[in-house]
Structures are given as structure tokens and as C-alpha cells.
């Protein structure tokens, strides 16, 4: 399908382009961006904002689908649910679950490895003290043998592992994963500042849902939380539901890290886009009510927002639109080294494009050049 999107204001992943532009698309890729591009088939965008499709590198599910426990048929329905809501690229994130369920789902993703960039293991290699909504029954010590046993023959699927550095003896698992080109992030951790600085000598890392399930900031015990803010190369995930983080903390992260190192994620669970009620997450009972999902203990259990809602929330609290958009497009794509195909509106990239209205609401979605909504 070859056509041109006409008369749109473009945010290209780095900046807003001047004036209204056209985007020519052929065979699912962007081949030209400019003024008054001619094409036999044209779509008049009527001044809408064209932005790269949102890239969610930390999500557990949506619309009733748990992306760590699903069938082949459910995979297609889940993917459609993400795409239709503006998330054109996503990395399925596995919480701490049993190895049998994980392996069965790994097999589904292996059959679609050309569509899914990789998978992210948020568990099981975490610290039980900071387990949050992770199932303690299946937590494992960060260890090469434990990792190999858990991932089995599906190692090539893994692109990111979250672990607690203080439990990784001599950082052996961290070093092994880095040697394999796998992104090692930290989370669900009680790591001290000093251990964190040793960890950052091995990997710049990503802070998994920054400030949540990690040490609070203390003036005599800064911990890995402050270390991440001070290390200029460490990126920080934010969940912009304004429940996981106070708006002023969100502004603080943007101010300290900049938009290129601030990564908007949904951390969404299967209950996202569904009604309030009782659900299961990672084998644990949760209740969705008043805009949040929580365990019976009151602990937050992921979020129930989409990336599109997250971007709108960021703009509402005063984050500059170009910064909010970068955190949801090129920043996560760069963090996971998939920016050669997505995260930008530039020639040669896949035509994953959203059309937004003046309120940053998603009005049209194009995935690989095909109109989804």
C-alpha cells in the first residue's frame, strides 16, 4: 500500500518540524517527508499531529490479555488491542511466575519473533524485601544456573532482565547478560549507593519503574535510587498514572534526566481498559478501583493506563509536549536498541505513525503503514 499523509504537523521523535508537512509511505516504510508531496493516494490529516507510534518497553497486558500467559489466538487479539490504542511496539514483560507458564508463553513469542522485539523478565531475580506485587513463591536468586534453567531454550528471546544487584554475587549474572547483549535493569531492590556504583561500572542500566520497589531517598543512605539519578547514562522508567509517582516527582525526573533518559511506560496489566472489579495478576488476587490496581495488602499491582493516557497525563502536568512524546517514542526505542526501525518519523523507518488531535488524543493509528483505526 503506497500513499501520502498530507497536511500534518510532525513530531519526528526529536522535535516538531516547522509548518505542515507530508509523509510518503511505500511498502510499510517512510520514504519521504516534505512539502507538497504527490502520490496517487492521499490522506488529508487536516492539521493533526503526526507522531511515532508509542513504544512500551514495560507492559504486562491489556484488554483482558496477560502477556506472560496467553495462547496463540490470544496473542493476535492482544496485539490488536495494543495497536488500536496507539502502542505500535511493545515488549512483553514477565513478572515473577512459575517456569512452566513462562516457557509455554515463550513458545508463543518465539513463533512471532519477527513482530516482537524481545521479552523483558521483570522477575524472578529480585529481592523479596521489595517484591511489591511479584509472587514471592517463585522468586529466584540472580544466578547464571538459575537463569539458564528458567529461560531454557528460549534465551534468544530475552532482551532485558530486571534484577536486584545486591543479590547478584560478584555481579556474575549481570556480567553474563551484558556479554550476551541483554539490557540489565535494576528493580525490586534494596541496593545501597556503593553497590549501585559498582553495578553501574558494568552496565548503565535502566531503573525499572523509578522510585517504586526501591529504597526511598534518605539524606544519609542515598541508595541506588539516588545513584540512578546521579548517573547521567542511566535511564529511568516512569509510570505516569500520577498514582505511582506524584506529579512533582515526575517533573523532578524529567529535570534531572532529560527527556532522552526518561522513559514513559504503562506497566499495564490485563485489567487495563476493563471495568473495575477483581482480577488475577501473577497468580495473586488484585482489585481494580478508583484508577488503580492493588493487592489485598494495598500494594500497587501494575497500572491500568495505556501509553496514550500516559502521554496525555504528562502534558496535563506541564511537561513540554516534545518531551512527553520523546519519552514515549524515541527514548524507549533507543534504550532497547530498536530505534533503527521505530520510535521516529524519518525516512527508512517503519511507518508506525499516530495522528493526534490538539489534546493529544489518538485519532488514527498506522502500523507498518496499514491503518489500524
The per-residue DSSP string of 235-265 comes to EEEE-TTSSSS-HHHHHHHHHHH-GGGEEE-
- Whole-number Å distance between alpha carbons of 52 and 286: 33
User: What domains are there in the chain, each with its CATH number?
Assistant: 3-50+348-371 (2.30.40.10), 54-335 (3.20.20.140)
Whether the link from the prior residue into 208 is cis, omega within 30° of 0, is no
Task: State pLDDT tens for residues 311-327.
Answer: 999 999 999 999 999 99
DSSP code of residue 167: G
Task: State pLDDT tens for residues 91-145.
Answer: 999 999 999 999 999 999 999 999 999 999 999 999 999 999 999 999 999 999 9
* Positions marked catalytic: 267
Taking phi over 0 as left and psi of -120 to 50 as alpha, with beta for the rest, 103 belongs to alpha
- Whole-number Å distance between alpha carbons of 138 and 33: 50
Q: pLDDT tens track of the chain, all 373 residues? A: 799 999 999 999 999 999 999 999 999 999 999 999 999 999 999 999 999 999 999 999 999 999 999 999 999 999 999 999 999 999 999 999 999 999 999 999 999 999 999 999 999 999 999 999 999 999 999 999 999 999 999 999 999 999 999 999 999 999 999 999 999 999 999 999 999 999 999 999 999 999 999 999 999 999 999 999 999 999 999 999 999 999 999 999 999 999 999 999 999 999 999 999 999 998 899 999 999 999 999 999 999 999 999 999 999 999 999 999 999 999 999 999 999 999 999 999 999 999 999 999 999 999 999 999 8
Cα angle at 82 between 214 and 50, to 5 degrees? 100
Amino acid at each position: 500500500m503506497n500513499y501520502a499523509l498530507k497536511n500534518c504537523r510532525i513530531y519526528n521523535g526529536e522535535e516538531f518540524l516547522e509548518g505542515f508537512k507530508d509523509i510518503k509511505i511505500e511498502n510499510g516504510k517512510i520514504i519521504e517527508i516534505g512539502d507538497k508531496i504527490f502520490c496517487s493516494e492521499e490522506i488529508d490529516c487536516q492539521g493533526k499531529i503526526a507522531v511515532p507510534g508509542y513504544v512500551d518497553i514495560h507492559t504486562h497486558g491489556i484488554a483482558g490479555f496477560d502477556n506472560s500467559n496467553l495462547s496463540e489466538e490470544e496473542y493476535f487479539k492482544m496485539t490488536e488491542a495494543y495497536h488500536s490504542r496507539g502502542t505500535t511496539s511493545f515488549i512483553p514483560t514477565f513478572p515473577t511466575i512459575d517456569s512452566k507458564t513462562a516457557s509455554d508463553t515463550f513458545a508463543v513469542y518465539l513463533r512471532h519473533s519477527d513482530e516482537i522485539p524481545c521479552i523483558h523478565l521483570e522477575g524472578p531475580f529480585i529481592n523479596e524485601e521489595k517484591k511489591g506485587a511479584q509472587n514471592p513463591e517463585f522468586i529466584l536468586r540472580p544466578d547464571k544456573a538459575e537463569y539458564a534453567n528458567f529461560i531454557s531454550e528460549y534465551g534468544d528471546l530475552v532482551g532485558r532482565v530486571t534484577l536486584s544487584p545486591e543479590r547478584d554475587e560478584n555481579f556474575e549474572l549481570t556480567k553474563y547478560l551484558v556479554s550476551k547483549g541483554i539490557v540489565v535493569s535494576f528493580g525490586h531492590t534494596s541496593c545501597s549507593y556503593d553497590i549501585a556504583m559498582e553495578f553501574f561500572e558494568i552496565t548503565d542500566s535502566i531503573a525499572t519503574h523509578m522510585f517504586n520497589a526501591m529504597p526511598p531517598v534518605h539524606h544519609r543512605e542515598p541508595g541506588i535510587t539516588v545513584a540512578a539519578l546521579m548517573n547521567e547514562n542511566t535511564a529511568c522508567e516512569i509510570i505516569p498514572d500520577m498514582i505511582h509517582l506524584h506529579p512533582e516527582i515526575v517533573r523532578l525526573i524529567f529535570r534531572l534526566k532529560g527527556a532522552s533518559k526518561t522513559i514513559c511506560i504503562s506497566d499495564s496489566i490485563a485489567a487495563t481498559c476493563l471495568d473495575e472489579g477483581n482480577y488475577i495478576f501473577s497468580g495473586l488476587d488484585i482489585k481494580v478501583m478508583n484508577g488503580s490496581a492493588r493487592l489485598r495488602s494495598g500494594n500497587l499491582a501494575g497500572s491500568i493506563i495505556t501509553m496514550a493516557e500516559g502521554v496525555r497525563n504528562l502534558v496535563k502536568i506541564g511537561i513540554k509536549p516534545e518531551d512527553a512524546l520523546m519519552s514515549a517514542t524515541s527514548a524507549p526505542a533507543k534504550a532497547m536498541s530498536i530505534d533503527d526501525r521505530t520510535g521516529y518519523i524519518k525516512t527508512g523507518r517503519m511507518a508506525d505513525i499516530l495522528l493526534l488531535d490538539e489534546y493529544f488524543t489518538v485519532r488514527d493509528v498506522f502500523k507498518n503503514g496499514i491503518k489500524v483505526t
